[in-house]
Structure 1
């Protein structure tokens, strides 16, 4: 359903055409959007499956849009439900961890590792053993020293040079952390794919689909303990949790670290977030359309966004709107 709100996608163009021109035929939608008839039909099928449009006359191929307010509310409810599911999984995992710590022999796929140094060594083994990818969630409190992040950069650069893909999800304030922020920027520049999320539920590292490490603070918060998870239903669940969080998160680029925008770009972002077209933005701000197009492209790159919707979310999180 997110594509229905993205003006840059085929589905978004078809949906907007139906919003402004109710009860349109496929041929009419193709003429308005510039898409081929088959592309329009494919977009309508996807939008219909998501409940964003409905067919009025199947024989004549006449379609209409559902209310944008209802479509937006359904999207927000769906994302809220996914967040609830992720938090529930985190709670169950915490219970399982506590049980495993009391009796680690009760579940062969689990191993408890205590102490920061042993945990860091375990994480390095996870990366060294990965054959395809390393996925991770890095959130406060940060237990690594400056020396740890220097060592991490070395092994990560080596593994990425060997073709290992790194996908990391960060707490949204990581950019302002004096140690984590610069490290994150350097790794992104070196090829890491990074995203941010307001409330990631756990510290997590996953090597391929073979090994996962969940890190938690001890009860008295004086040290850390880790739950090492080997192939099992639990490991599969952790991989699914990461993939769900990754879809909810906002992409990060090197330009995100400490970047600011001027008054003109803030005005463009505000109008973009309200759904204004490039032409409308140009008229409102007394700019040429070419300038608006160029600044919109630059803002998308600066925010690490692939479409206007993501740009609005990222800009709002950074307090630019």
Structure 2
């Protein structure tokens, strides 16, 4: 049994309550005054303990006695205290299951109509962010095996992380394997560091890469959520098995190349970030493109490029990219962030 705190939260029985319950079990029946004497506590403490046990149905008054109390079986107490509410909850859950089954029974009709219109089966475009989030929450609630997430763009906004943390911790607590990919630049974001520390401590796995292929979430290798390229408030729900399997394969390849997330400074991450920038420079990418793909600000990106050119004595961005690409990452050390301006990685 449990007791309820001042705001309705459930906690374990207090030690004095357990001692009192044990004493009543051993002596058959007792009064609050006798209980106080036997336990060596004040009358007021004994009365509070008795009130707790009466509330939890673990004690009951002896009929026809003058204030004597006797113990009740914990199973009986639980049935009296939560049985009615538990039955109501079961009925409600059964009703929700019937509603879901009644609606999803129409899926074949919906998919057949889409095929007649030339649409690809297993793909839904949702034009409302609220509906997308509702579908994600529903899929997360039914996920039982694995959740794969890709979050490009550097550190995530603190508000997004605060909303995601309870859902993600709930997934992990149910035994779901949770793997998340970020970009290297996310390591320099305090909110993302805090979120990652909590998720990793709970058993989640987080890794980073210099460049990612796009945002997505996949539940149980059955349902994938993707962004709509020209509408940030919309989303694509993908259930076609072959397409979802392909996305899982792409995720697996990126995961094998990624580095485990660490909140402390990592020379590997700094060098990997530098190598990615060098490759993009050698390919002729513009500063704006590099910054966007690596999830960093344009100012920070240009600072990195300027430092690289200065160190190498390069006279052009292409020459700097070529020289850096020709060198191993270890040959081009990067000073720790603590010695740099506080503008990001």
User: Do the structures match in fold with TM over 0.5?
Assistant: no
Structure possessing the higher relative contact order (Cα contacts under 8 Å, 6 or more residues apart) = 1
Shorter-chain TM-score category?
Answer: 0.3 to 0.5
TM-score (norm 1): 0.44
- Please identify the structure whose Cα radius of gyration is greater: 2
